[in-house]
Amino acid sequence: MSWTLTTLNVNGLRSAVRKGFTQWRPREKCDVLCMQELRMQTEQMEKDHLPPRGWDSVRMQAEKKGYSGVSSWSRLPVLESGTGIGLDWADNEGRTCWMVVDTPEMGPVRVVSVYIPSGSSGDLRQSMKDEFLEHMLSVTKTWLKSGIPTVICGDFNIAHKEIDIHNPKSNKKSSGFLPHEREWMDRLLAQGWVDVFRACNPELQVYSWWSNRGRARELDRGWRLDYQIATPDLAARAEKAWIRRDAGLSDHAPVSVRYA
């Protein structure tokens, strides 16, 4: 029996709902849904912003209103859940939450929803992003050592390889494709993690984010910024991985993997 995990940066959950999120979710038939950039506080949430009846969830909001925020919804039984990565300023920005779900074949699997900061607004945010990345490497080592099959889902704000970006030559000095950011991805995978989409689609050039400037989406001039990075035991169970470019809910596209 298989189960499907989907991750999506909604770029504002209220906006995504207005664009058809409530109708899209049941059609996508995911069993676990990770979301980033909710941009909502608890008191702002209405029925369409909450998981459907019978689903469990975990959410971490930013202290700053209208900013960041992550969540995970699951129709599979949730055994544990929590928030934060242990880095104070990042936790105040609501960038990480996790749950352990009871999957049909493997039993407990840790699912992490993460929204890695962008560095595109300037040197300060880039330095904060770099701090987050270094801190995260220590956390990912701990998750690996725990022995629990784990998948890290979300918007990494990094295009790893040249195949993951429309115009690599002109973006070599752009945040999100800087050499040290791409090297960080190499270091993460060297720990033993697997980029599940790329493992399932070694040669496929497809993107998960497009700029709102110009005609980037229409011309498919995008970046692959959204990932499911899994421990080898879980990655080996991936039957199919896909990016649904036509979902139309956000400037990002949902990334899904079916695990057996």
- For 62, phi and psi rounded to 5 degrees? -80, 150
Please state, in angstroms and rounded to a whole number, the distance separating the CA atoms of residues 225 and 208.
6
Please state, in angstroms and rounded to a whole number, the distance separating the CA atoms of residues 90 and 70.
12
CB–CB of 175/118 below 8 Å?
yes
- For 142, phi and psi rounded to 5 degrees? -65, -45
Residue with tokens 């199919």, as numbered in its chain? 240
Tell me whether residue 155 is one of the annotated catalytic residues.
yes
How distant, in Å, are the alpha carbons of 133, 160, 202 from that of 180? 11, 10, 23
Catalytically annotated residue among 155, 164, 195, 226: 155
CB–CB of 231/188 below 8 Å?
no
Give the pair of three-digit tokens for residue 162: 């040249």
Q: Which residues contact 38 (CB under 8 A, 6 or more apart)?
A: 10, 12, 13, 59, 61, 68, 69, 70, 71, 94
CB–CB of 97/81 below 8 Å?
yes
Please state, in angstroms and rounded to a whole number, the distance separating the CA atoms of residues 176 and 210.
13
Measured in residues, the chain has a length of: 260
Nearest to 74 by CA among 41, 43, 97: 97
Supply the residues annotated as catalytic. 155
